[in-house]
Structure 1
């Protein structure tokens, strides 16, 4: 899809969804800057890929670390064409259990990091009149959270709001901003949070009768970052298996 040689940043690259996104982009010849917490995991992932790739270990909860990491990426690659804000923290804590400290920590990763990285890379996209921003939200943004907690649901709703705002602001600059909102993806983040009984209840509640596969999320991201999607901006791709329409 004419992405060969472009530079993509993917956060949460070593997770279930992130790894699938990285692998999908690699098949298009994209040069990859991969962001996650552990340098060893990033190095192992980079070694598996058939394209130029480098890992950048950073704590996305630390604004200074995010800004320093973004500078390192620009120093290494010179430019960024595609930003996929995939990293996130899942929490089941409902209203009574949420502390302000936990709220701020979750927002820092799920929302603030997306803002800071967009601020770092959008100027370069504007200079070339081409760029793609994709934020990985969640079905929780429109459902209020089923098994997800209060802070998580709010963070993913705010991430959609950020997507809409960037889409409006950047539409005339050749830059698109979209979100993908999956429900219950087969990934460690989901499987580790839910008991087998809860997982089965959720599976039965999904009309298609199964959970989303990470490769399906990656396929949606691959389309949104392609030149073929240049007229699509400010959209949320719902991937909820028929649980809700519209």
Structure 2
């Protein structure tokens, strides 16, 4: 699991899941580039992990383009940033549809497009995309735009895996369900949370640290024979 000398870029780094990923990869020896819109939490993360903080809005193409132009080469790209919407089809506005896709999907595409040629030139790289169980179940509490964006992110994972499999680069996704984060603690009401707990066979929500461990494994040299895979972390909600 040693990542000494590797550089990892983590988006959505200031959130509960992103911070756990940064902390775990840093503990395994990686140099962290932490990207998020939340400057305050980025600075705190930099203090605890030694990460290089980059504050930008992934929903702003011009801002992201500027960041991409200044990025150093990375060995590990973790496309973790995501925004949740609970709006179902008839309530989903086109404006918000585009905003959600810019953050959840377009940013991952653009960052991958920038990072992959440099990974290939060094003969080693890891792309890890944070999908969601919503993409497999059609969304229960999640809305149409979120669900669709995560399904598309899985498709991007497969496309990258196929294209770069013979070039020393792997691409995989993780599909968590209900990680204990603000998406669960703040955007779902108590009745929704209790109902979900009754439906999850293991009887609890997933922890950010559990997902971070999976990211660390997929990023490690030990996972070099795994590509084009979606790792389910749903507590038994769905088997396949």
Asked whether the 8 Å contact 1:13–1:34 carries over to 2, the reply is: yes
Given the two structures, how large is their TM-score scaled by the length of structure 1?
Answer: 0.96
- Residue 128 (1) aligns with residue 148 (2): no
- Residue 69 (1) aligns with residue 67 (2): yes
Q: Give the 4+ runs in structure 1 shifted more than 6 A.
A: none
CA positional deviation for 1:115: 0.1
Inter-partner Cα distance in structure 2 for 1:164 and 1:107: 18
Inter-partner Cα distance in structure 2 for 1:148 and 1:208: 21
Q: Report the equivalent of 1:219.
A: 213
Inter-partner Cα distance in structure 1 for 2:32 and 2:70: 13
Asked whether the 8 Å contact 1:63–1:116 carries over to 2, the reply is: no
Segment drifting more, 207-216 vs 65-74: 65-74
Q: Report the equivalent of 1:189.
A: 183
Any gaps of 5 or more consecutive residues in structure 2? none
CA positional deviation for 1:42: 1.0
Inter-partner Cα distance in structure 2 for 1:64 and 1:172: 33
Any gaps of 5 or more consecutive residues in structure 1? none
CA positional deviation for 1:67: 2.1
Matches within 5 A, 1:140-179: 140-179=134-173
User: Residue deviations 1:171-201, cap 9 Å, x none?
Assistant: 0110000000000010012211111111000
Aligned length: 240
CA positional deviation for 1:105: 0.4
CA positional deviation for 1:41: 2.0
Asked whether the 8 Å contact 1:37–1:57 carries over to 2, the reply is: yes
User: Residue deviations 1:107-132, cap 9 Å, x none?
Assistant: 00000000000011111101001000
- The Cα RMSD (Å) is 0.8
Q: Report the equivalent of 2:193.
A: 199
Asked whether the 8 Å contact 1:33–1:73 carries over to 2, the reply is: no
CA positional deviation for 1:40: 2.6
Asked whether the 8 Å contact 1:34–1:54 carries over to 2, the reply is: yes
Q: Secondary structure at the match of 1:8?
A: strand
Selected match of 1:92 from 70, 80, 86: 86
